Amino acid sequence: MAMKQQVGSLSAGIKLTHSGTLKSCFVSPLVFVSVSPRQLQFFKYDHFCVSCEGEKDMDGWRVIQRRRDGKVHQHMTPLCVSAAFPETHSGTYWCETGLGANSSDIIINITTGSVILESPAVPVTEGDSATLICRSKSPGMTEFYKNDVLINNGIEGSMTLLDVSVSDQGRYRCKVRRSGESPESWLTVRALSPPHQEQSAPLLSVFTLVRLLIVGAPYLLSTIILGLIYQDRRSERRALQASWARGARRKVTMQIIT
């Protein structure tokens, strides 16, 4: 189980990648690994670039690649591949500094087959749309799968997920009849943070309560003082009435005795 603690703007812990490998890291929410073209699957001999983005000063950041065979390689950013090969360029990519800070990772697949799936290379924000495109060297009837379950088919080579939610996150692939199927790609959905107004509502409520207390305090204090004065005068009046009653009783008694 991953354990995390906050260190400034970095989150420290043990990270499990989608490929099932573990790496110790400080995950920076400001830096991310970017791919151009923005897709995670490529045909053999395709061209693509991987770079680190997110901060004005990216000095010290480098692209890290873990190949399918487990070997780890470091590259200057950007890393541009002019002719992709499955054995050397498929794998997990992320950005890292010498201080141990990392970005989140992505998995790039290079295939020798005839079908690839173009999907968002960066997390999709909840509520946005995500387009999946099935590229084939020989177009035909296309099927889209999520977590090995058929979710769409037809002659169109693309499908769009509207108003995505966290439930849309998962493994996607496509299949073109008589051509084959693509590798899988992971679609990440980033949960939408609560609106700013909702976040500040409790704070506004506290301010409102304090303001009401400040405005109402004089009236409350005046009411309490008037109540105490009234109670004191009432007690004095009762004491005076009791004194008059005792005096009257003494006078009556003296008259009877006389």
pLDDT of 11 above 50: no
Do 108 and 148 sit in the same domain of this protein? no
Do 107 and 164 sit in the same domain of this protein? no
Q: Indicate the pLDDT class of residue 1, thresholds 50, 70 and 90.
A: very low
Domain count, the chain: 2
Tell me how far apart the alpha carbons of residues 76 and 193 are, in angstroms, rounded to a whole number: 34
Do 9 and 101 sit in the same domain of this protein? yes
Q: What is the pTM of this model?
A: 0.62
Q: Indicate the pLDDT class of residue 108, thresholds 50, 70 and 90.
A: very high
| Ordered alpha helix ranges (H), the chain | 86-89, 196-257
Do 102 and 163 sit in the same domain of this protein? no
Distance of CA 89 to the CA centre of its chain: 30
Secondary structure letter of residue 241 according to DSSP: H
Assigned domain for 32 exists: yes
Assigned domain for 236 exists: no
Average of pLDDT values for 74-89?
Answer: 90
CATH of the domain at 141: 2.60.40.10
Do 107 and 77 sit in the same domain of this protein? yes
Dihedral, CA atoms, 100, 106, 111, 117, nearest 10 degrees? Answer: -170
Average of pLDDT values for 17-21?
Answer: 46
Assigned domain for 239 exists: no
Assigned domain for 258 exists: no
Tell me how far apart the alpha carbons of residues 52 and 61 are, in angstroms, rounded to a whole number: 7
158-161: strand order across its sheet: 115-118, 130-136, 158-161
Do 119 and 184 sit in the same domain of this protein? yes
Mean confidence (pLDDT) of the chain: 79
Do 94 and 144 sit in the same domain of this protein? no
Assigned domain for 58 exists: yes
Do 86 and 127 sit in the same domain of this protein? no
- The C-alpha angle with vertex 186 and arms to 145 and 158, in degrees rounded to 5, equals 45
Token pair in block for residue 202 = 């409790």
Assigned domain for 204 exists: no
| End-of-domain residue from the set 85, 112, 139 | 112
Tell me how far apart the alpha carbons of residues 146 and 159 are, in angstroms, rounded to a whole number: 12
Token pair in block for residue 58 = 């990216």
Token pair in block for residue 229 = 């004065």
Do 191 and 120 sit in the same domain of this protein? yes
Do 100 and 28 sit in the same domain of this protein? yes
| End-of-domain residue from the set 72, 96, 112 | 112
Q: Indicate the pLDDT class of residue 63, thresholds 50, 70 and 90.
A: very high
Assigned domain for 227 exists: no
Q: Indicate the pLDDT class of residue 221, thresholds 50, 70 and 90.
A: confident
Residue 153 has what pLDDT?
92
Do 2 and 99 sit in the same domain of this protein? yes
pLDDT of 256 above 70: no
Q: Residue 105 belongs to what domain range?
A: 1-112
Residue 162 has what pLDDT?
95
Do 89 and 143 sit in the same domain of this protein? no
| End-of-domain residue from the set 69, 90, 112 | 112
Average of pLDDT values for 52-76?
Answer: 85
Assigned domain for 250 exists: no
Average of pLDDT values for 87-92?
Answer: 92
